[in-house]
């Protein structure tokens, strides 16, 4: 989480910033202020700050904040403050060219924003809001106000959250950057009230397997995710240079092998021998037919349970592809409306969800329970020796909550994230777009709170997938992501446990438009682009042989020395 804390003099901004990092075990305090100041008032303020900070803080006095952040991306940081940083990056002398100062600052800002975006641990930047004062009558004052305005805008764009401190009150700034698309909050309130869900099939009736109370477990709390081993990555890149091929000639397969090695923490990497797919099945209230019989899906809800049986019988596309790729398949009924085999319903949280257009899909307690289940499943597999994890989805209507989650987390509009799913017609497209709009309207208030977001507009299957994906990262196990539905859960998972994305590769890009948007947001480049739009983990399994081959290349290819081939 990156937060920009703005405020006037003595507004309480530093105290607020420190409170945001209160639960961090270690914080680097990047102090940008002059340290050898003769100004008694300044010295007293610095001493004040020092006293308020505890032993958890390490103070680093620097104006090269970008370099300081890059040096330790996994430790929380507090930058105090951006005003001093701006002052250090410009010449306020009247003789200096003001345009040149702006250009120089913009350059430094670009670097700083990139370092902030790359910072994996929490970071809070404190900055003075000087734009509300009268325009100063000195050249230096006017230039500083100008540069500060630029700096605050750029850093606010790089931050996940911006708050303004006024009179000791922290006001969250919900606005969107000037000149961008319609803000999510401005999506018109739904006019037509959607039909209530059909109670018999869509109400979340707790199953006999669970009572789903609002229990206080910490399913959504994750320890710090640390990245795959960068030293092993270096060693793997080095080894690639010694293998019997022109350097770089295996293209992206080379970096893919490097990634597997760094995930395993060993070079050469071990061959992938026990990849496992978990299909998370669940129904969605939003898929219930309207009074005119229309739905957001081209298929009826009953297909979800029927497909679970098909997976168990080995007849689904996923089964066929997984057999070819040598992956094990496990199915988990998290929220299927129908009864399924006891073998797959151990972790069942509920039967379907409530229609996300009109109410929260599931309760917070159910979201926690589902997330705990996803984490437990990942733990169990990793403990049993699985060396690569893949999540898949099965659930009629699930591309609608997936689009809602992606729309909210990437600030896109409903018409941009809607897709045809199982193949809806134009009337279905209109209905689905309206459903996504209603879901985004309902979910926008909790978009910053992953668990609440999953409860409001996701569902138990999405919560389980998010828990599974983040837990895989915590357990330092590589993951291949599938299509739209799994990637929607991944977006939430990386918010929940930042840095998880380093443990994932995108297997493919689906034909669903929101998928590419979500991948871009995660910074992932898909391995394949085959026009697939099935889900079930089929896209991830299609990419598995590439990941396995990339691993074997580093592990089994001869070096120039070994093969007696002349090195270029
Ligand atoms: C037979 C069949 C097998 C599937 N396997 C995956 N999906 C995929 O399509 C569904 C999502 O699309 P929508 O939101 O339009 O309903 C999910 O079940 C997803 O897993 C299937 C769908 C069907 C019909
Ligand atoms: O890309 C996906 O995951 C997808 C697309 C359509 C239907 N179900 C899943």
For the CA of 420, the closest atom of ligand 2 is 6
Q: How many CB atoms lie within 10 A of CB 300?
A: 15
What percent of the chain has pLDDT above 90? 76
Quote the pLDDT of residue 203.
Answer: 38
Which one of the ligands is nearest to 279 CA? 1
Q: Measured at the alpha carbon of residue 222, what is the angle toward residues 219 and 380, in degrees to the nearest 5?
A: 65
Mutate which of 279, 398, 399 for ligand 2? The one with the most ligand atoms within 8 Å of its CB, which is: 399
Beta carbons within 8 Å of 290's beta carbon, 6+ residues apart: 194, 195, 431
Q: Is residue 205 scored above 60 in pLDDT?
A: no
Q: Is residue 113 scored above 70 in pLDDT?
A: yes
Q: Is residue 426 scored above 90 in pLDDT?
A: yes
Quote the pLDDT of residue 133.
Answer: 80
What is the per-residue pLDDT across 181-200, written as a single tens digit (0 to 9) for each?
A: 333 333 344 444 444 344 33
- Is residue 150 a contact partner of residue 255, using CB atoms and an 8 Å limit? no
Q: Is 392 in the pocket of ligand 2 (CB under 6 A)?
A: no
Instruction: Quote ipTM for the complex.
Output: 0.99
Mutate which of 519, 535, 537, 542 for ligand 2? The one with the most ligand atoms within 8 Å of its CB, which is: 535
Pocket of ligand 1 (CB under 6 A): 297-299, 303, 307, 393-400, 421-422, 534-536
For residue 375, report the distance from its CA to the centre of ligand 1, in Å: 24
Q: How far apart are CA 376 and CA 3, in angstroms?
A: 31
Q: How far apart are CA 8 and CA 130, in angstroms?
A: 7
Q: Which residue minimizes the CA distance to atom 4 of ligand 2?
A: 535
Quote the pLDDT of residue 217.
Answer: 63
What percent of the chain has pLDDT above 70? 91
- Report DSSP state, residue 508: B
Runs of H (alpha helix) within 302-391: 302-313, 317-325, 364-383
What is the per-residue pLDDT across 530-547, written as a single tens digit (0 to 9) for each?
A: 999 999 999 999 999 999
What is the per-residue pLDDT across 54-106, written as a single tens digit (0 to 9) for each?
A: 778 888 989 999 999 999 999 999 999 999 999 999 998 888 888 888 889 98
Q: Is residue 44 scored above 90 in pLDDT?
A: no
Quote the pLDDT of residue 134.
Answer: 83
Which one of the ligands is nearest to 511 CA? 2
User: Is 211 or 490 the better-scoring residue by pLDDT?
Assistant: 490
Pairing of strands 27-31, 57-61: parallel
Write down the domain spans for the chain.
2-36+47-173, 273-543
* CATH number belonging to the domain at 2-36+47-173, selected among 3.40.50.620, 3.40.50.970, 3.80.10.10, 3.40.50.300: 3.40.50.300
Q: How far apart are CA 455 and CA 470, in angstroms?
A: 17
Average pLDDT, the chain: 90
First-to-last CA distance in the chain? 46
CATH architecture of the region 273-543: 3-Layer(aba) Sandwich (3.40)
Sheet of strand 57-61: strand arrangement:
57-61, 27-31, 76-80, 123-128, 2-7, 161-166, 169-172
| Secondary structure element (H or E) that encloses residue 436, with its range | helix 426-443
**Phi/psi zone of residue 530: left (φ > 0), alpha (ψ -120 to 50 degrees), beta?**
alpha
Which one of the ligands is nearest to 304 CA? 1
- Is residue 239 a contact partner of residue 554, using CB atoms and an 8 Å limit? yes
Quote the pLDDT of residue 178.
Answer: 64
Q: Which residue minimizes the CA distance to atom 14 of ligand 1?
A: 397
Contacts of residues 230-239 at CB distance under 8 Å and 24 or more positions apart, as own/partner, are: 230/262, 232/261, 232/262, 232/264, 232/265, 232/266, 232/267, 233/258, 233/259, 233/261, 233/262, 235/261, 235/267, 236/261, 236/262, 236/267, 236/268, 236/269, 236/554, 239/267, 239/268, 239/554, 239/559
Catalytic (active-site) positions: 536
């Amino acid at each position: 989480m990156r937060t920009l804390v703005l405020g006037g003099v003595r507004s309480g901004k530093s105290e607020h910033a420190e409170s945001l990092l209160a639960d961090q075990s270690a914080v680097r305090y990047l102090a940008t202020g002059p340290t050898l100041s003769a100004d008694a008032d300044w010295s007293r303020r610095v001493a004040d700050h020092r006293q308020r900070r505890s032993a958890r803080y390490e103070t680093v006095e620097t104006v090269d904040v970008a370099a300081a952040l890059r040096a330790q991306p996994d430790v929380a940081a507090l930058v105090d403050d951006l005003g001093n940083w701006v002052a250090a990056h410009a010449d306020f002398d009247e003789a200096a060219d003001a345009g040149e100062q702006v250009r120089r600052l913009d350059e430094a800002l670009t670097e700083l924003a990139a370092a902030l975006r790359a910072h994996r641990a929490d970071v809070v930047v404190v900055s003075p809001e000087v734009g509300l004062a009268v325009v100063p009558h000195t050249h230096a004052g006017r230039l500083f106000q100008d540069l500060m305005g630029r700096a605050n805008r750029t850093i606010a764009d790089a931050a996940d959250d911006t708050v303004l401190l006024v009179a000791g009150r922290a006001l969250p700034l919900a606005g969107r950057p000037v000149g961008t698309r319609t803000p999510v909050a401005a999506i018109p309130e739904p006019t037509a009230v959607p039909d209530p869900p059909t109670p018999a099939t869509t109400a979340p009736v707790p199953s006999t397997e669970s009572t789903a109370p609002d229990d206080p477990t910490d399913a959504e709390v994750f320890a710090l995710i640390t990245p795959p081993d960068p030293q092993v990555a270096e060693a793997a890149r080095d080894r690639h240079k010694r293998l019997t091929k022109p350097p770089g000639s295996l293209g992206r397969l080379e970096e893919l092998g490097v990634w597997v090695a760094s995930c395993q923490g060993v070079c050469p990497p071990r061959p992938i021998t026990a990849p496992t797919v978990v299909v998370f099945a669940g129904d969605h209230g939003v898929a219930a037919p309207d009074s005119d019989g229309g739905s957001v899906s081209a298929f009826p809800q009953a297909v979800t349970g029927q497909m679970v049986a098909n997976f168990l019988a080995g007849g689904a596309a996923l089964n066929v592809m997984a057999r070819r790729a040598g992956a094990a398949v496990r199915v988990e009924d998290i929220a299927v409306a129908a009864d399924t085999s006891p073998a797959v319903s151990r972790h069942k949280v509920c039967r379907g969800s409530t229609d996300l257009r009109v109410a929260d899909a599931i309760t917070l307690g159910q979201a926690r329970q589902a997330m705990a289940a996803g984490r437990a499943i990942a733990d169990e597999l990793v403990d049993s020796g699985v060396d690569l994890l893949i999540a898949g989805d099965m659930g009629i209507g699930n591309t609608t909550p997936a689009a809602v989650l992606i729309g909210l987390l990437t600030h896109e509009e409903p018409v941009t994230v809607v897709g045809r799913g199982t193949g809806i017609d134009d009337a279905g497209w209109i209905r689905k777009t309206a459903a996504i709009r209603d879901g985004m309207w309902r979910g926008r208030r909790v978009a910053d709170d992953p668990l609440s977001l999953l409860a409001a507009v996701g569902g138990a299957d999405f919560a389980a997938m998010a828990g599974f994906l983040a837990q895989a990262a915590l357990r330092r196990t590589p993951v291949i992501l599938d299509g739209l539905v799994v990637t929607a859960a991944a977006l939430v998972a990386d918010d929940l446990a930042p840095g998880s994305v380093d443990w994932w590769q995108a297997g493919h890009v689906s034909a669903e438009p929101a998928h590419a948007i979500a991948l871009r947001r995660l910074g992932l480049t898909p391995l394949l682009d085959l026009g697939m739009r099935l889900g079930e983990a089929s896209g991830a399994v299609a990419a598995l042989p590439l990941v396995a081959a990339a691993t074997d290349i580093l592990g089994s290819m001869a070096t120039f020395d070994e093969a007696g081939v002349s090195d270029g």
